[in-house]
Amino acid sequence: MMITAAKSTLIVILGLLFLVLLVQRLRRRSGVRIPLGLTAIGFFGSLYLLHDHLLGLYSTLPSLQSGEIDKANAALFWLAVAYTVNVFIKRFVYRRRLTLEGDPKVPLIIQYMVTLLIYMVAAMIIIRLVYQQPIFAIAATSGALAIVLGYSARTVLEEVFAGIALNFSSPFEKGDLVQLNDEWASIKDIGWRSITYLDMDNNSVVVPNSVVAKSKIRNLDRPDGVTRRLFYFLIEYNVPPRVVIDIAQDAMKECPNIIDHEWNDVCLFEFDETGIRYRAALHIAHYNDWWIASDEYFNAVWYAFKRAGIRFGQQRHLNYADHENADRSLPNSALDDSNWQALVERFDQTPMFDSVTNEDMKELAQSASLHVVGPPERIIRAGSKRTSMYLIASGEADVYEVDGKGKETWMAEICEGETVGLMSLLTGVPQKTTIRARSETAVWEISSESLHALFDKKPQIMDNLAEAVVKWQAEETDALNAIQLSREQEQNLMDKRASSLSQRITKFFDKDKDDSGNEGYTEF
């Protein structure tokens, strides 16, 4: 009698727990799915196995009705098993591989097929084992019905089977960047009849599976996320190809969104009546960087060719409108009167040259070189041992601190009239920071030889320079320390989050964990 009471109490507890979890699930609490399935298995299984021990539960019911209740309990038990298996697969199989948005990469069509298969197997078990009915007749009837439906819904079935074929061949998955014929597409969903993707204008596009199956598909995320793009440009015949190739390759190194890859190269591609065509191959880490990387490279190539006096072949008929225009080249020195006189005016506004006479400033200006750079070209590269100072004649530039992995962190902005690179020029130490042009920037380059010749004539200038160097060095040290402190705080925050997440994962897999089902993955 005591054993029967204990079993009845267990069934009552399981029943109450099942009702509570069912209400929570109806409220769309996703964390209760697995506990709900396990509780349902235990509750309906206990009702079926222990009905003979329940005190008077069936005593007032006819035997036929009692048997029907037993079969219903058994059927609900198998449905609970199917539900639990499906939930486990969704939780521990589908969610092992996620897209950037956190959705499972397994297409919905596969998830639906697996769910349908699980419940079909459960239905067959219920028909054969619970109700003792043959399943072959039902299968034959279902097959005949499927033929009728298939004939009347040929178009729909064509899309469905095309979707199944795409999923089994797996040319792409959710989250991949592909090229369908001539259009780039970021795959968002793979359904029964169609796929949904975002085009490069961020529009949602739906394409039938049969159309996708007949398309030329190029997966840009396989075998890895690195994407190679090709550029073609035309240069006049009068420029040696080796010079063009070297300049174009150096311009590629100026672009922060172009990764350092062994297959980055520039080569001579072909000749035509307007000039020599070159091909540049560059690599980017992800397709999202494609547009900004191309913009950086176009700017860097244009400014590099402009400084070298190299003209594009597309404008050949304009370049050679007359003989004087054909011989024109860009200035690369400050010997022009308008150039060096403008530099003298800049020197008058610079405190470090207060004790320099006008004649000395003219001599220093005439030895300087004028360069025009554009974004994202570097005026100074971190680690460079080039001993020159630069005075910003026009435009703006950004100063970046560079860590051991080559990652750049913005520090400050420099504007017209400011001087950079003086510390390296005076002491010979490598440059600590990288300076990139923010806009089109004209800079005067003053070499160490020119400045040292001035020191020999006017030693007192060293005092002004020493004071300026101490001030700039202190400001640079403060900025670098602030960046280092920010990195340490960021790392401490990441460590704290990782520790909290680790504790939650451990708690989730603990057998004695709380059954509340609240996952709380973002609460750290």
Which structural domain range is residue 86 located in? 2-157
Q: Is residue 376 part of a domain?
A: yes
Q: Quick one: what percent of the chain has pLDDT higher than 70?
A: 69
Q: Is residue 500 part of a domain?
A: no
pTM above 0.85, yes or no: no
Residue 389: phi, psi to the nearest 5?
-110, 155
Q: Are residues 134 and 177 in the same domain?
A: no
Closest CA to 331 of 353, 312, 307: 307
The least confident of 13-27, 163-177, 469-483, 510-524 is 510-524
Question: Sorting pLDDT into bands at 50, 70 and 90, what band is 516?
Answer: very low
Q: Are residues 436 and 355 in the same domain?
A: yes
Q: Between residues 236 and 169, which one has the greater pLDDT? A: 236
Q: Are residues 87 and 123 in the same domain?
A: yes
Mean of pLDDT over the chain: 75
Euclidean distance between CA atoms 157 and 220, whole angstroms: 30
Q: Are residues 98 and 142 in the same domain?
A: yes
Number of compact structural domains in the chain: 4
Give the long-range contacts of residues 212-215, CB within 8 A, separation 24 or more: 212/162, 212/166, 212/180, 213/162, 213/165, 213/166, 215/180, 215/181
**Tens digit of each residue's pLDDT (9 = 90 or more) over 72-93:** 888 888 888 888 888 888 877 7
266 within 8 A of 279, measured Cβ to Cβ: yes
Q: How far is CA 478 from the centre of its chain?
A: 32
CATH number of the domain to which 305 belongs: 3.30.70.100
Q: Is residue 82 part of a domain?
A: yes
Q: Is residue 465 part of a domain?
A: yes
Q: Which residues contact 419 (CB under 8 A, 6 or more apart)?
A: 350, 352, 389, 390, 391, 392
- Pure H helices in 329-377: 337-348, 358-366
**Tens digit of each residue's pLDDT (9 = 90 or more) over 450-476:** 777 777 777 766 666 666 666 666 666
Q: Are residues 40 and 125 in the same domain?
A: yes
